A = this chain, B = another copy of it.
């Protein structure tokens, strides 16, 4: 089997396993299973909603290929030839405001001129900061990165800080995680990058399962629910204004419903809404900054 089909199969497996695990943890709702087929390729959109712990979540897999178009030239560096791309992207919005939003993407790109690269990342967006949870999250990401290359975690953590940032509000989307792109794969490094991507895809649902088990059934107040809806509006702003995957998808006439499944189930905007001084909400806001060393906090 060629490399592209090998990685696409592994990514499809990542999707399947993640759905199985998180469906089991939720215990009430089930993932839909919408397979789609277009001229450009195939994919499976899987969405879960109104669960006991998950309010809305999605894990999408796609495998596409075709001629390089002019709009891809900036990304690919070539103006002719063909490309193949495959990836898994996922997001979960919990019902409980005390649990965080989580997001993951792993992707692979291959050109007919032989160039190939990997990209991806995992990041966490708490509505309420929980330092133990954030420390553990970053430790786990570091642990997986370190298996491959000790320079990756600090590098990819910094890239996540820069990427998951809401410029117009001068606030981070959440507590970051890791983000990487254009990790070029040559004969020597391909297997390593492949293993890294799959390991992240495996770690992702386990991390979130652990969080949902711990937080999914905690009691919460109407005020906390209101705060969650306002934090969700910041997530909307990031996804529609800065997220490259969303913008690329919408500009290239992708499936709107599959792309915007990343939107939260709902969101609220109130004029001059800000937390009470000294509150847990204010404490959370104070942590939405770049450059925090979460491992030693």
Any B CB within 8 A of the CB of A40 = no
Q: Is the CB of A265 within 8 A of B269?
A: yes
Q: Which residue of B lies closest to A263 (CB)?
A: B269
Asked if A58 is at the interface of the complex by the 8 Å CB criterion, the answer is yes
A267-B270 contact in complex given A236-B240, A240-B237, A256-B168, C-beta closer than 8 Å = no
Answer yes or no: A6 CB below 8 A from chain B CBs. no
A19 at the interface (CB under 8 A from B): no
User: In angstroms, how far is the closest chain B Cβ from the Cβ of A260?
Assistant: 7
* Across-interface contacts of A168 in B (CB, < 8 A): 250, 256
A250 to B168, CA, bound (A): 6
Taken residue by residue from 163 to 190, chain A's Cβ proximity to chain B (1 for < 8 Å, 0 otherwise) reads as 0000111000000000000000000000
CA–CA, A267 to B229, complex, Å? 10
Asked if A131 is an interface residue, CB under 8 A from chain B, the answer is: no
Cα distance, A266 to B168, chains bound together (Å)? 20
- Report whether B268 and A49 are in contact in the complex, using a CB–CB cutoff of 8 Å: no
- Indicate if the CB atoms of B261 and A271 lie closer than 8 Å: yes
In the complex, the answer to whether B271 meets A268 with C-beta atoms within 8 Å is no
CB within 8 A of A270: which of B229, B236, B265?
B265
Is A47 in contact with chain B by the CB < 8 A criterion? Answer: yes
Instruction: Tell me whether A233 and B268 are in contact (CB under 8 A).
Output: no
Assembly CA distance A260 to B273 (angstroms): 12
A211 in the interface, Cβ–Cβ < 8 Å?
Answer: no
Within 8 A of B (CB), among A26-69: 32, 45, 47, 49, 56, 58
Contact residues in B for A256 (Cβ distance below 8 Å): 168-169
Tell me if A147 is interfacial: C-beta within 8 Å of chain B.
no
Task: For residue A274, give the distance in angstroms from its CB to the closest CB of chain B.
Answer: 9
Contact partners of A132 in chain B: CB under 8 A: none
A257 CB within 8 Å of chain B:
yes
**Which residue of B is nearest A241, CB measured?**
B240
Q: Which residues of A contact B (CB under 8 A)?
A: 32, 45, 47, 49, 56, 58, 167-169, 229, 233, 236-237, 240-241, 250, 256-257, 260-261, 263-272
- Given contacts A56-B270, A261-B271, 4 further A-B pairs with CB under 8 A are A49-B270, A56-B271, A241-B250, A257-B271
In the A-B complex, the 9 residue pairs with the smallest Cβ-Cβ separation, listed nearest first, are A263-B269, A168-B250, A240-B240, A266-B268, A47-B271, A261-B271, A257-B272, A240-B241, A267-B267
